[in-house]
Amino acid sequence: MTKQQRYQFVLDYFEKHNPGAETELIYHNPYQLLVAVILSAQCTDKRVNMTTPAIFEKYPDIKSLSHAAFDELFPLIKSISYPNNKAKHLIGMARMVMEDFDGEIPDTVPELIKLPGVGRKTANVVTSVVYHQPNMAVDTHVFRVAARVGLTQNAKTPLQAEQQLVRHIPKEKIYRAHHWLILHGRYICVARNPKCDQCGIRKACKYYAHLTG
């Protein structure tokens, strides 16, 4: 199977079996998604979804969050990983949005990564989920699945994996392919003991071919 055939097989499978794939983070507007994604770094979406309602009740918009005091925000996110840093990042992010972007969440990756707590992965998530831009956020799940299946080759960093993926996935499918790979890694192609017997793309998978060899 050529690389192009492998990509085609994988994309066709997910298109058929999970056409409506989307983020598992619960949000209602770009502000809420940005907060949720910042909190989700090295933390589960489930835990984030348990935490954000109290935040959005107290700080319903970017303006209110920009006026938040650390001592008021920290208790709301203390069950999240790295709450100290994330509380500072959220307040700093909100203040910069108010001061530099007139209170509007930026809609481009270069602008978003200027914000405290926002790296390339977070910016790619926000722009692809909210605006359906052809940006591929590479987290540990995407990185692992893409390498195992053989969609990426010798990628040493998330950026290298991202560049390889966007080169081979049609632009209009990138924002959904991000979710396909994440969800596959979260539930089927897990880090330890991947569930190959339940995997619909194993015919195209280099890892599986090596296993059954």
User: Side chain identity at 97, as an amino acid letter?
Assistant: V
Q: What is the number of other CB atoms lying within 10 angstroms of the CB of residue 54?
A: 12
Domain boundary among 131, 158, 174: 131
Domain holding 192, by residue range, is 3-21+135-212
Domain boundary among 109, 131, 153: 131
Q: What is the number of other CB atoms lying within 10 angstroms of the CB of residue 126?
A: 27
Q: Are residues 180 and 96 in the same domain?
A: no
Q: How far apart are CA 91 and CA 82, in angstroms?
A: 15
Which residue from 158, 197, 192 is spatially nearest to 178, judged by alpha carbons? 158
CATH number for the domain spanning 123: value is 1.10.340.30
- Active-site choice (46, 78, 86, 139): 139
196 is in an annotated binding site: yes
199 is in an annotated binding site: yes
Q: Are residues 104 and 91 in the same domain?
A: yes
Q: Are residues 36 and 123 in the same domain?
A: yes
pLDDT tens for the chain, residues 1 to 213:
899 999 999 999 999 999 999 999 999 999 999 999 999 988 999 999 999 999 999 999 999 999 999 999 999 999 999 999 999 999 999 999 999 999 999 999 999 999 999 999 999 999 999 999 999 999 999 999 999 999 999 999 999 999 999 999 999 999 999 999 999 999 999 999 999 999 999 999 999 999 887
Q: Are residues 35 and 15 in the same domain?
A: no
Q: How far apart are CA 120 and CA 176, in angstroms?
A: 18
Q: Give yes or no: 100 in active site.
A: no
Q: Are residues 115 and 53 in the same domain?
A: yes
43 is in an annotated binding site: no
The whole model's pTM is what? 0.91
According to DSSP H, which parts of the chain are helical?
Answer: 3-17, 30-40, 45-58, 62-66, 70-77, 83-100, 109-112, 120-131, 140-149, 158-168, 174-187, 206-212
- Structural domain count, the chain: 2
- Active-site choice (46, 100, 121, 197): 121
Counting every residue written for the chain, the total comes to 213
Q: Are residues 44 and 126 in the same domain?
A: yes
